[in-house]
Amino acid sequence: MAEPFELTLVEQTAAVRRRELSPVELTEHYLRRIERLNDSVGAYLTVTPERALAQARRAEQRVMEGEEAALLGVPVPVKDLTPVRGVRFTSGSAVFAEHVAGEDAYIVTLLRDRAGSVLLGKTNTPEFGLPAYTENRLGPPARTPYDLRLGAGGSSGGAAAAVAAGLAPAAQGSDGGGSIRIPASCCGVVGVKPSRGRVSPAPYGDGSGLAVSGPIARTVRDAALLLDAMAVPAPGDPFSLPPPERSFEQWSRREPGRLRIARWASPDVAGVTVDPEVLAAYERTSELLAGLGHEIVDVPQPLEPGDRDPFTPVWAVMAASMPVPPEREAELMPLTRWLRERGRSVSGLEYTRALAAMQAVGRKHAAAVAPYDAVLTPTLAQLPAPVGALRDDADPEADFAAQLAFTPFTAPWNIAGLPAVSLPVQWTVSGLPVGMMLGAAHAADGPLLALAAQVEAAAATAGLGSARIGYG
């Protein structure tokens, strides 16, 4: 008989609803695994066992009363960039190691109260979610469970490591430049960046529209179920989409039909090359899509070197906007200090111009996507990097450049506000996951999930691989 952690999110919710699996027993099961394995994979910064068990007991009572909330009694952790009232809230920074949140983010209310999930704790993230790796001064780095010498990516590295190592069935992440899809690729799980306006940032928001919360899970259907729980608009959202015509979970079970799919694998960043194993996986995925009956169209990289330059000052201003006491500025990571210094040098007028220029780049990217039903690219240009390989405390500018070379394909989808999903449909001979990214036009999250589920199923049938528990 399968262990509870081996069950998918969909299977766990069904088992709880049928009263075959107790929320309390399920929570205790995950807490034991976290206690045993977390130091190795660096998935959680904060674990809240007493709160989790209290929530599980309440969920068990709701089950006995016949309630059928979407995620009732199933654990779903949140990233430590997301505040939970009364729980330590570090944002990945040692400066805030003892900080406790005074309010819940709207998405926490949706997941815990409305959907009925159990919060196990807060997952690991780098300082302020800025880098594409998850290393900070609060705890061990997040690692891919397939090779503990390698990092989990970032900035939702803890969330992806938790799902891949069986320390949660699914997790909330956030993505401002690839921060869900990067660790999903490194950890061999599914990561979905929804369309801009699909998931509310309430009560926060940086004004750029870059960042959005989304699901990390082992299957597309699990991710779709979690996205359904997240995609509830809040009054006053600056960007908001109407509810889809059917649930995302229903979309994940639909045949997508024959689609016209563009593809490109050339980065728009000068001097960046793509690893041969990544390119081989890209070609195999293209063949898989063609075998499913889709029309595959080679398209030139729509962006040119320098197009995305306005992203950097916007990102730097976001870093500078974090309220750090001046006397504690020196305690920040070198990359954070470098970005904040750059951000403080950007005037209001320069920031406005950078936003406008970035939006023009987004329109250029969206225009290239518009003639097609979907787009295929690699998620990353490289295989998972060793812990510390991207980070360069002595030269933060080189650190930033190394991250860009690692992740050249992800940020344009944030700039344009379009949906994208990283799928673990390819693996190297040595057993490392290689994520492939599918993207689509704005608001086409549902059809994109239908295609992703079809690819996932076909890859598993073909023996190319699919998400699996990688540790313990």
For 298, phi and psi rounded to 5 degrees?
A: -75, 125
466 assigned to active site: no
Give the active site residue among 91, 93, 179, 195.
179
Other beta carbons within 10 angstroms of residue 331's beta carbon come to 15
Choice among 91, 93, 117, 155 that is catalytic = 155
C-alpha neighbours within 13 Å on the C-beta side of residue 385? 23
Is the CB of residue 132 less than 8 Å from the CB of residue 122? no
Distance CA 62, CA 301 (A): 51
C-alpha span between 230 and 243 (Å, rounded)? 11
Beta-strand relationship, 295-298 and 212-217 = unpaired
| Neighbour count for residue 238 (Cβ, 10 Å) | 12
122 noted as active-site residue: no
Q: Which of 22, 79, 185, 195 is catalytic?
A: 79
3-state DSSP call for residue 398?
helix
Q: Is 79 a catalytic residue?
A: yes
- Print burial letters for 153-182: b (CB count within 10 Å at least 16), e (below 16): bbbbbbbbbbbbbbbbbbbbbbbbbbbbbb
Distances (CA, A) of 200 to 174, 193, 387: 12, 13, 33
DSSP-assigned states of every residue in 411-448: HHHHHHT--EEEEEEEE-TTS-EEEEEEE-STT-HHHH
Burial code of 48-57, b = ≥16 C-beta within 10 A, e = fewer? Answer: beebbbebbb
Positive or negative, the CA dihedral 323, 105, 417, 272 is positive
Q: Catalytic amino acids?
A: 79, 155, 179
